[in-house]
Amino acid sequence: MEKEELAPHVSEISRVLGSKVSEDQIEKELDTYLNLYRVSLETAKRSVVRKLGGDPNALNKGVQKKLSELSGSEQSVDLLVKVLSANRKEIEQNGEIRTLIYGLFADESGTMPYTAWDADRFPLERGQVLMVRNAYTKEWNGKPQLNLGTRATIESQSADAVKLPEGMDVPAYGPTTAKVAELLEGMNSVTLTAKILSVETRKIESQEGAKTLFSGMIADDTGRVQFSAWHDFNLKKDEVVQIRGAYVRSWRGIPQLNFGERAEVSRVKSPFPADLDLSKPKPRSIAELDAVGGAFDVLVAGIVVDVKKGSGLIQRCPQCNRLVQNKLCRLHGKVEGQYDLRIKAVVDDGAGSMTAVLNKDITEALVGINLEQAIKEARDAMDPEIIKERIEERLLAKPLEVRGNVISDDYGLMMIVSEARMFVPEVRADAANLLAELEGAQ
């Protein structure tokens, strides 16, 4: 082990010994155990502490966890992570200016925000792979957050020590220029050119006191996305801006654009065709949505390959709106359920599939039956399932175009549908074009 790598362990032993022994001496002892006798690091540290008159139990246990395993109450935890982002920030503490670094760590299991409370001791940079020891976690907004305080140490690791899932990794070549449809959770230093469709201000309470948040909707020719600006860039509706240094976080799979005071915003000439209505939803393939995890207000076309259980005439709890099954609400027990209509359809475009949830109004329009008729039909037949059968009759194996927000959960993509229509595809013109293309290429 090289001298540099020893340093964090030397300082840890020094802390346990309470500066009774010089760091040089500790380093010499540790070096002997490790490099001459080749014992394990853990044993070496304990032995050195014992030899120099300290309590080896005061050494950190070194529990190593994955980011997804953190609960928010760890006092001391070790982690092998990659730095996805590192932002510097100056804070005033006891009349002194201190620099801290905050950002996002990632490992195979996920990502987590961190704060390193000393920029000099933790010179974190985007893309580094680190062994972080003795970090602690706290809950913030109901989610664990990682902190590197006075006891923490970092050790540089080889770049391939952390293998991140596809799409999560930091872009290898600095800032990324992206279109709205390409925004992906965890992206940093994003440059995006888009038109501001709406902007509103909101006062929020943060750790540093009251702040004004500027949020709204922006769009380019690939889609629309919600944004939050944590600094006043004097954004105006209908302006076309280029934002540099934005980052992406997602909410239930829907990517959202964030940018703070370190970002740059400049007004640019619109690169979008004048007749293009950016406020309209854009068509997306399910595979694309799968890759980014979700999207705000998009159009998806596919075939209805299944109408799931729980479609048709259902009953909901009058108090919490949950599904009532066998006259029982999961939360409120026996209740008098209220009838509702809905469809949970699996829409499949050949490269991906998602569940589309259609509410009563959309179901009524699409199937051509209203709630009252449905209740009557089910009563007459003494079987509420006939409504589901009727929906299947109408939708199954048919092309359907749906519009809405796409979110993701453990079971994959789900769209909360705001509009739906069955369409008759134009086949011949499309086929002729494709044929001409193929024969032209031959």
Partner 1 sequence: MIGREVAWRIFAAEYNSSRLEIKGEGERAPSYIVSPLGAMVNRVFLVGVLTDLENIGTGDEPLWKGRLQDPTGNFYISSGQYQPEATAALAKMEAPAFIAVVGKTRTYSPEEGTMYVSIRPEKVRVVEARERDHWVLETCKATLKRIDAMTDAKEMTAPTVDELVKLGHSPPLAEGVVKATGHYQDVDLGRYREMVVDALKFLLPEYQSELESEMPTELSQRPEEVEDEETAEAAEEEKEDKVLAIITSLDKSGKGAAWDEIVEEVKRLGMDRTALEEVTNSLLDKGLIYEPVLGRMKRI
Q: Using DSSP, state whether 245 is helix, strand or coil.
A: strand
380 vs 383: CA distance, rounded Å? 8
Q: How far is CA 197 from the centre of its chain?
A: 23
Within 365-404, the residues that bind partner 1 by CB under 8 A are: 396-399
Characterise 253 by phi-psi region: left (phi > 0), alpha (psi -120 to 50), beta (else).
left
The least CB distance from residue 430 to partner 1, in Å, is 6
Q: Which residues of 319-347 are buried (b: 16+ CB within 10 A; e: fewer)?
A: eeeeebeeeebeeeeebebebbbbbbbbb
Task: Tell me the residue type at 198.
Answer: S
Q: Which is nearer to partner 1, 336 or 410 (CB)?
A: 410
Regarding 276 and contact with partner 1 (CB under 8 A), the answer is no
**Tokens coding 75:** 């006092």
What single string gives the DSSP state of each residue in 389-426? HHHHHHHTTSEEEEEEEEEEETTEEEEEEEEEEE----
The least CB distance from residue 303 to partner 1, in Å, is 6
Regarding 166 and contact with partner 1 (CB under 8 A), the answer is yes
Q: Using DSSP, state whether 56 is helix, strand or coil.
A: helix
Within 408-427, the residues that bind partner 1 by CB under 8 A are: 408, 410-412, 424-425, 427
Regarding 173 and contact with partner 1 (CB under 8 A), the answer is no
Q: How far is CA 439 from the centre of its chain?
A: 44
Q: Which is nearer to partner 1, 213 or 305 (CB)?
A: 305
**Helices and strands (H and E) in the chain: how many:** 8, 23
Collect all residues with Cβ–Cβ distance below 8 Å to 434 and sequence separation of at least 6. Answer: none
Looking at 45-53, 97-105, 117-125, 429-437, which segment touches partner 1 (CB under 8 A)?
A: 429-437
Regarding 428 and contact with partner 1 (CB under 8 A), the answer is yes
Regarding 430 and contact with partner 1 (CB under 8 A), the answer is yes
437 vs 433: CA distance, rounded Å? 6
The least CB distance from residue 71 to partner 1, in Å, is 23
- Considering CB under 8 A, how many residues would be counted as binding partner 1? 32
Among 153, 353, 363, 405, the residue binding partner 1 under the rule CB under 8 A is 353
Q: Using DSSP, state whether 150 is helix, strand or coil.
A: coil
Looking at 50-58, 74-82, 324-332, 342-350, which segment touches partner 1 (CB under 8 A)?
A: 342-350
Closest-CA residue to 378 (of 293, 421, 283, 314): 314
The least CB distance from residue 246 to partner 1, in Å, is 24
Among 2, 4, 372, 439, the residue binding partner 1 under the rule CB under 8 A is 439
The least CB distance from residue 140 to partner 1, in Å, is 26
Closest-CA residue to 344 (of 335, 331, 353): 353
Looking at 1-9, 29-37, 256-264, 431-439, which segment touches partner 1 (CB under 8 A)?
A: 431-439
Structural contact between residues 347 and 300, judged by C-beta atoms closer than 8 angstroms = yes
Regarding 287 and contact with partner 1 (CB under 8 A), the answer is yes
Regarding 303 and contact with partner 1 (CB under 8 A), the answer is yes
Closest-CA residue to 348 (of 298, 411, 301, 388): 301
Q: Which is nearer to partner 1, 97 or 438 (CB)?
A: 438
Structural contact between residues 344 and 311, judged by C-beta atoms closer than 8 angstroms = yes
**Tokens coding 345:** 């359809």
x/- map, 207-246, partner 1, by CB under 8 A: ----------------------------------------
Regarding 252 and contact with partner 1 (CB under 8 A), the answer is no
Q: How far is CA 371 from the centre of its chain?
A: 38
Regarding 440 and contact with partner 1 (CB under 8 A), the answer is no
Among 351, 381, 416, 422, the residue binding partner 1 under the rule CB under 8 A is 351
Regarding 352 and contact with partner 1 (CB under 8 A), the answer is yes
Q: Which residues bind partner 1 (CB under 8 A)?
A: 166, 287, 290-291, 303, 305-306, 346, 348, 350-353, 396-399, 408, 410-412, 424-425, 427-428, 430-432, 434-435, 438-439
